């Protein structure tokens, strides 16, 4: 069974998230949504992502029907023994989560970057836009060497 899990992780697409919280912020129905997702290639790491979700009323009032703001916050933590799968090891990292934030041009992404020298996983949430980038981002880190131990490769 563990071998099957490892094989699934090798071909994993960006993670799917479960909504774990919803906070209403105003009378117009705008909300802050909180979602949880497990890193698809690192067993034992769970991230929580919070972002703003516009209501239908706000979309009509603003005249921008198809787009949500880029604001987001992320926190990732160790939720079990950490086992690294076949993760990208370069400075560009790899996407572990993506969600559309407009009809076609914008998405909210979470990228994992492995700081091998310091034994830390870095999770960066940011917006990806076709026409212009966004300076709005949030970062979280997960140390791999807690209490003198190191993360184990998957399958061992």
pLDDT digit string (tens) for 21-42?
A: 999 888 887 888 999 999 999 9
Burial of 10: CB neighbours in 10 Å, binned 0-12, 13-18, 19+: exposed
Local confidence band at 3 (pLDDT 50, 70, 90 cut-offs):
very low
Burial of 45: CB neighbours in 10 Å, binned 0-12, 13-18, 19+: buried
The pLDDT value recorded for residue 105 is 59
Question: Are the beta carbons of 72 and 110 closer than 8 angstroms?
Answer: no
Report the alpha-carbon distance of residue 49 to residue 128 in Å, rounded: 16
89-148 confidence digits (pLDDT tens): 999 999 998 876 555 556 788 999 999 999 999 999 987 764 555 667 899 999 997 644
Report the alpha-carbon distance of residue 108 to residue 65 in Å, rounded: 17
Ranges of each domain in the chain: 2-18+36-52+70-151
């Amino acid at each position: 069974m563990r071998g099957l899990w490892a094989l699934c992780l090798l071909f994993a697409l960006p993670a799917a998230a479960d909504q774990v919280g919803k906070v209403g912020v105003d009378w117009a129905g705008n909300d802050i949504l909180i979602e949880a997702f497990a890193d698809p290639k690192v067993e034992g790491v769970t991230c929580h992502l919070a972002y703003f979700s516009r209501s239908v009323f706000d979309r009509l009032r603003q005249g921008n029907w198809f787009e949500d703001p880029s604001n987001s916050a992320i926190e990732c933590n160790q939720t079990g023994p950490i086992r690294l799968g076949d993760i990208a090891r370069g400075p560009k990292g790899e996407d572990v989560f993506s969600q559309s934030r407009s009809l076609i041009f914008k998405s909210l992404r979470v990228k994992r970057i492995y700081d091998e020298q310091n034994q830390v996983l870095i999770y960066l949430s940011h917006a990806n836009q076709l026409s212009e980038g966004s300076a709005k981002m949030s970062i979280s880190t997960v140390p791999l060497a807690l209490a003198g131990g190191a993360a184990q490769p998957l399958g061992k």
